[in-house]
Chain A
Amino acid sequence: RKEVEQDPGPFNVPEGATVAFNCTYSNSASQSFFWYRQDCRKEPKLLMSVYSSGNEDGRFTAQLNRASQYISLLIRDSKLSDSATYLCVVNLNTGKLIFGQGTELSVKP
């Protein structure tokens, strides 16, 4: 079983749609959690950290369920510029980040 699992997609959605990505992790000792965004042929960039209480940044909402070892990212009112690959990332207590393979999002006009 992979340490961090994501649905690879692609998710093809129209502009304005709401889309949700899910991620599960296997190591219950994981300490911190993130969503990264990666554009084609570019480096991954930190989108947001994920906290147990949930957190929101504009159109983006991240949730963490430690009991189920599950992380989610919700994007509301999708824009063309949201098209990218979204990486679920987990920090083990060793300090090393473990990356999921990513979920590809394509927002169409």
Chain B
Amino acid sequence: DAGITQSPRHKVTETGTPVTLRCHQTENHRYMYWYRQDPGHGLRLIHYSYGVKDTDKGEVSDGYSVSRSKTEDFLLTLESATSSQTSVYFCAISVGQGAGKDGYTFGSGTRLTVV
């Protein structure tokens, strides 16, 4: 399996607090992605990165920011957590060096609960 790890695996946080989720890869892949998965919606793209300091928004980016200062790390920040951001968050990297042409490999996910 590709070396991709997410931390933390589980988190409970209070409404209004900032939260940062980390995705770390050891494969030197250029493309990295953050998705959230919710019942009835499937996987939805939050943000993605196509290189160090190169990021762009996905379809559900409001309330989230990202940073990629090193190839191996892609951070997702909930600026002020809300209950609607309770979800399972998955990080993914492209298989190979292409932009998803050969699919993605996913991390194990972070279960976030905002109370």
Contacts and interface: CB of A to CB of B under 8 A. Distances in A.
Interface string A95-109: 111011110000000
A61 interface: no
A43 B103 contact: no
Contacts, number: 58
Interface in A29-65: 31-32, 34, 36, 42-46, 49
B49 to A, nearest CB: 11
A94 B90 CA distance: 20
Contact of B103 (A97, A100, A101, A102): A97
Interface in B90-115: 90, 92, 94-95, 98-109
Nearest to A4: B42
B101 A32 contact: yes
Contacts of B105: 46
Given A43-B106, A46-B95, A46-B103, A100 B31 contact: no
Contacts of A100: 42
A44 B104 CA distance: 9
B74 interface: no
Contacts of A36: 103
B42 A95 contact: no
A46 B105 CA distance: 7
A109 to B, nearest CB: 27
19 contacts: A32-B101, A32-B102, A32-B103, A34-B103, A43-B109, A46-B95, A46-B104, A49-B102, A91-B101, A91-B103, A95-B31, A95-B50, A96-B45, A97-B33, A97-B45, A97-B100, A97-B103, A97-B104, A99-B35
7 nearest CB pairs, A to B = A95-B99, A101-B42, A43-B106, A99-B43, A95-B100, A46-B103, A91-B100
